[in-house]
Amino acid sequence: MEKFEFYNPVRVVFGLGEVARVGAETAALGTTALVVSYKDHAFFTDVLGRVEKSLAAAGVKPVAFYEVTANPTIDQVEAGITAAKAAGVDVVVGIGGGSAMDAAKVIAAGVPFKHPAWKMIVARHDKAEAIAPSEALPIVLVPTLPATSSEMNCGAVITNETTHEKSYLFNPVIYAKVSILDPELTLTVPAYQTACGAVDAVSHVMELYLNGVEDTPLQDRLMEGIVLTIAECAAKLQKNPKDLAARTNLMWAATVAWNGWTQPGCASTTPMHLVAHPISAHFHVTHGATLAIVMHAWMRRFYKSRLPRYAQFGERVFAMDAKGKDPEKLALEVIDRFEAWMKGLGVQTRLGEVGIGKDKIDMLTDDIVRVSFGPDGKLGARVPATKEDVRAVLSFAL
């Protein structure tokens, strides 16, 4: 276990019907709120209406900015910053999945930022080009899709469509002041998006589980428990999408997956996310699906470096009997089961299933090297990945 510091200031309001508190919570932070959500919000128009009414009833002027898409772009962020400044906004409310919440967070940091918003995004890992924001408007987040933990972390992922770069900002100034988690808001989420969200949440755990240090037994069990909980809830929701108990537990498990509780002492990187990002940046594939495509492929490339970890995961999560089995064959069986679980949810696990062929491997590899490789010429991971490793991962994903 490594040395660590831990900090998470987000106040969470959790429970059925708690979205009614958004007005009062926002009023404690400001008087004019930029309400950030999706351009296509047909499946939760009622929620947005309730939020706007709650804000108005609390004396907060809502300024609608419903311009965000999946994989939010820096142009959308800049438009949001312009709208916020024009309206004299003093608080930002983000409603939706990770895309809406991430856009809201970067807009909030962008209002007082003295440079173009893209300057705060870590778009290169081989040299320090990003300028860290030093402040942000207060942020209130209302997640409608369990997936990214954006409601309780200080991260945001943004795409630059001009350069086809998808990268991130991690900074304490974009922690929400308060996040309102109301499981009822997830009832209208389509089955495919629910499944992609579940895979996304699991991916946060697997980054740590596969790339963290040894001797973190508490963290291991936390992560295994999160995976089991998400898998159980996802299975229940396949049978009954209106199962509120399953949606409640899924929402909390997804939040805990990347709110910092699993990370202390693990000293982990997120290489699978960095391999997945160019797939959505170039081809607009749903984020959870890109992770489903990359995760098992990453495992197939690197499993030999950590065979005991796969045996442990197989025993504790899949209830497999590892005694007497060949470690390599067991690891491959675990990987096959993991891919089958994602596929069983209806999420694509192969590049070909999202229309990406072998002819795109070199282009994607070059982009990953350009954006995410460090000064040492490698992608940070438990076993630092070379360009050839990345090409092999993408080839396993075909």
Domain count, the chain: 2
Q: Which two tokens stand for residue 277?
A: 């990002």
Domain contains 3: no
Amino acid at 148: T
- Shared-domain flag, residues 145 and 201: no
Domain contains 384: yes
Q: Name the one residue in this structure whose structure tokens are 């069986």.
A: 333
Do residues 201 and 254 make contact, with C-beta atoms less than 8 angstroms apart? yes
Domain contains 6: no
- Shared-domain flag, residues 342 and 365: yes
Give the phi and the psi of residue 140 in degrees, each rounded to 5.
-120, 130
First to last CA, the chain: 36
Question: Residue 60 carries which DSSP code?
Answer: P
- Shared-domain flag, residues 197 and 142: no
- Give the pLDDT score at 163: 87
- Give the pLDDT score at 310: 97
Q: Which of 365, 155, 103 is CA-nearest to residue 270?
A: 155
Domain contains 4: no
**By CB neighbour count within 10 A (0-12 exposed, 13-18 middle, 19+ buried), where does 395 fall?**
middle
Domain contains 1: no
In tens digits, what is the pLDDT along the chain, a chain of 398 residues? 889 999 999 999 999 999 999 999 999 999 999 999 999 888 788 999 999 999 999 999 999 999 999 999 999 999 999 999 999 999 999 999 999 999 999 999 999 999 999 999 987 777 678 899 999 999 999 999 999 999 999 999 999 999 888 889 999 999 999 999 999 999 989 999 999 999 999 999 999 999 999 899 999 999 999 999 999 999 999 999 999 999 999 999 999 999 999 999 998 789 999 999 999 999 999 999 999 999 999 999 999 999 999 999 999 999 999 999 999 999 999 999 999 999 999 999 999 999 999 999 999 999 999 999 999 999 999 999 999 999 999 999 99
- Give the pLDDT score at 349: 98
Question: Residue 121 carries which DSSP code?
Answer: S
Do residues 293 and 349 make contact, with C-beta atoms less than 8 angstroms apart? yes
Do residues 242 and 194 make contact, with C-beta atoms less than 8 angstroms apart? no
Give the pairing type, strands 11-14 and 32-38.
unpaired
- Give the pLDDT score at 43: 78
- Shared-domain flag, residues 282 and 338: yes
Q: What is the CATH number of the domain that holds 294?
A: 1.20.1090.10
- Shared-domain flag, residues 72 and 173: yes
Domain contains 2: no
Residue where one domain finishes, among candidates 186, 217, 251 = 186
Residue where one domain finishes, among candidates 134, 165, 186 = 186
Domain contains 248: yes
- Give the pLDDT score at 265: 92
Q: Which domain holds residue 253?
A: 191-396
Residue where one domain finishes, among candidates 169, 186, 203 = 186
**Residue 398: partners with Cβ closer than 8 Å, 6 or more residues away:** 350, 351, 352, 357, 358, 361
Q: What is the CATH number of the domain that holds 32?
A: 3.40.50.1970
Beta-strand ranges (E) seen in the chain are 11-14, 32-38, 61-68, 91-96, 139-143, 155-160, 165-170, 178-181
- Shared-domain flag, residues 152 and 261: no
- Shared-domain flag, residues 349 and 275: yes
- Give the pLDDT score at 60: 98
- Shared-domain flag, residues 169 and 289: no
CB atoms near residue 64 (< 10 Å)? 14
